């Protein structure tokens, strides 16, 4: 089982093999963590993203990290919360699992996740945290890589929820 860590802070500062971006299906940037990652990585990140042709909700794509400390960015798209009857739970889990699968495929040892979909996509934070932690625990129990997974919470509410669940 991987080492799971919890950090309160800015994911763009993380020194890991990959940081995960909570993007939208265009992969052409946006606000929130997506905007912060593009600002910190520099314009070459957007150039590479333009070549990818977008990404459906629940899937993931990998790019270089450019000016980031992180060597790669794994862009995934979480679901927009629409009340809970639109496959949101499965799609959020898929966003985590497909990001982990990409990290595994590329031999990456460490990965940092933001709290996907809990910003402007309005997924309820408590259930999003349970889905994220369960997906990571199940994946890392079966796979040697990644061996270090960091949940980076930007707001105290998410941080306290993760702290409580992770114990
Ligand atoms: N480091 C870590 N976490 C952050 C940072 C940061 N620098 N900045 C914000 N967060 P959001 P979503 C947290 O809205 O809900 C974008 O416009 C934030 O506190 O960034 O998946 C995309 O282009 C929250 O907990 O992503 C999409 O259009 C979490 O990141 C859309 O937003 C996710 O909030 C995706 O919405």
Does the active-site annotation cover 17?
Answer: no
* For ligand 1, atom 33: residue with the closest CA: 119
pLDDT (tens place) for every residue of the chain, 167 residues total: 789 999 999 999 999 999 999 999 999 999 999 999 999 999 999 999 999 999 999 999 999 999 999 999 999 999 999 999 999 999 999 999 999 999 999 999 999 999 999 999 999 999 999 999 999 999 999 999 999 999 999 999 999 999 999 99
* For ligand 1, atom 18: residue with the closest CA: 119
- Check residue 159 and give its pLDDT: 98
State pTM to two decimals. Answer: 0.98
* For ligand 1, atom 27: residue with the closest CA: 24
Cβ atoms 86, 128 nearer than 8 A? no
**Does residue 11's CB lie within 6 angstroms of at least one atom of ligand 1?**
yes
Site to substitute for ligand 1 among 119, 122, 162, most atoms within 8 A of C-beta:
119
**Does residue 32's CB lie within 6 angstroms of at least one atom of ligand 1?**
yes
Calpha distance 52→50 (Å, rounded) = 6
The CATH number of whichever domain residue 140 belongs to comes to 3.40.220.10
- Check residue 153 and give its pLDDT: 98
Residues 68-110: tens digit of each pLDDT: 999 999 999 999 999 999 999 999 999 999 999 999 999 999 9
- Check residue 109 and give its pLDDT: 98
- Check residue 1 and give its pLDDT: 72
Residues 6+ apart with CB under 8 A from 19: 11, 12, 37, 65, 68, 70, 72, 73, 74, 111, 112, 114, 152
Provide the domain count of the chain: 1
Strand order in the sheet with 110-113: 3-8, 148-153, 110-113, 18-23, 72-77, 60-64
> Which structural domain range is residue 157 located in?
3-166
Cα(21) to ligand 1 centroid in Å equals 8
**Does residue 128's CB lie within 6 angstroms of at least one atom of ligand 1?**
no
């Amino acid at each position: 089982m991987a080492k799971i860590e919890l950090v309160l802070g800015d994911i763009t500062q993380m020194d890991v093999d990959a940081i995960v971006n909570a993007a939208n299906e265009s992969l052409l940037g946006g606000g929130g963590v997506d905007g912060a990652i593009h600002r910190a990585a520099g314009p070459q990140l957007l150039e590479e993203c333009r070549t990818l042709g977008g990404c459906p909700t629940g899937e993931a794509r990998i790019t270089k990290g450019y000016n980031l400390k992180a060597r790669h960015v794994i862009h995934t798209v979480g679901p927009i919360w629409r009340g809970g009857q639109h496959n949101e739970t499965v799609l959020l889990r898929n966003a985590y699992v497909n990001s982990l699968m990409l990290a595994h495929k590329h031999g990456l040892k460490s990965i940092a996740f933001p709290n996907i979909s809990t910003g402007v996509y309005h997924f309820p934070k408590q259930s999003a945290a349970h889905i994220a932690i369960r997906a990571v625990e199940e994946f890392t129990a079966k796979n040697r890589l990644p061996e270090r997974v960091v949940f980076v919470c930007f707001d105290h509410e998410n941080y306290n929820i993760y702290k409580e669940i992770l114990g």
